[in-house]
Amino acid sequence: MTSWPPRTVIRRSSGLRTMESALVRSGLGPVAGVDEAGRGACAGPLVVAACVLAPKPYPALARLDDSKKLTERTREELFPAITRLAVAWSVVSFPAEEVDRMGVHVANIEGMRRAVAGLSTTPGYVLTDGFRVPGLPAPSLPVIGGDAAAACIAAASVLAKVSRDRVMVAMDEAHPGYGFAIHKGYNTPAHLAALEKLGPCPEHRRSWSNVAALIHRVDNSSGSAR
């Protein structure tokens, strides 16, 4: 007896709606996709989004793909189209201090739960990007590379990425010198150089090893000076 949904890999060439269409045809819709942005950054929030798309493939959403593969301009153009045409969407955010307190994986899982709970339409099935999320209100399936395999996850990816990027641009004005508007809090050489020069700001995640090491080094230097 074959289990449902099938555990086969849905490849990009099959189209971004293959998996969702199969679930809807089997009476398991509407299908929500969930994804996050900022998991690997050492500064700024972790942002998680959930999205339910209409079964009809709108031309305005034809460019949907993994948000990391899209240009910033394309993501910004897709964002209002997604929020206008989606059946339901939800975005939740965890600031750096909350990520430190909870741990990034726990915050990510909790964010996915909250994002799905925040949808105005209750999903019949949930597709998550990469790993299983317990405690969802509907059956779910983790999809490896989901933001490049399912349109609803790709849409959630864009919502999360654009929402977080906008926060990081505003953060750049509040904390000048780090270049947050450019690297968005990730560990680029420019960010690490600024962090070394300026020290961490309140938006840096203290639980990250590079930030913690810098704080430890500064504390030790201050202690030696005394």
Evaluate the omega torsion of the peptide bond into residue 189 and state whether it is cis, within 30 degrees of 0.
no
Please name the amino acid found at residue 111. Answer: G
Cα(138)–Cα(124) distance, integer angstroms: 6
Sheet with 125-129, edge to edge strand ranges: 88-94, 46-52, 31-37, 125-129, 140-143
Q: Is 129 annotated as a binding residue?
A: yes
The answer to whether 45 and 184 are in contact (CB under 8 A) is: no
The answer to whether 181 and 166 are in contact (CB under 8 A) is: no
How many CB atoms neighbour CB 148 within 10 A?
21
Binding-site residue positions: 35-36, 129
Binding-site residue positions for a divalent metal cation: 35-36, 129
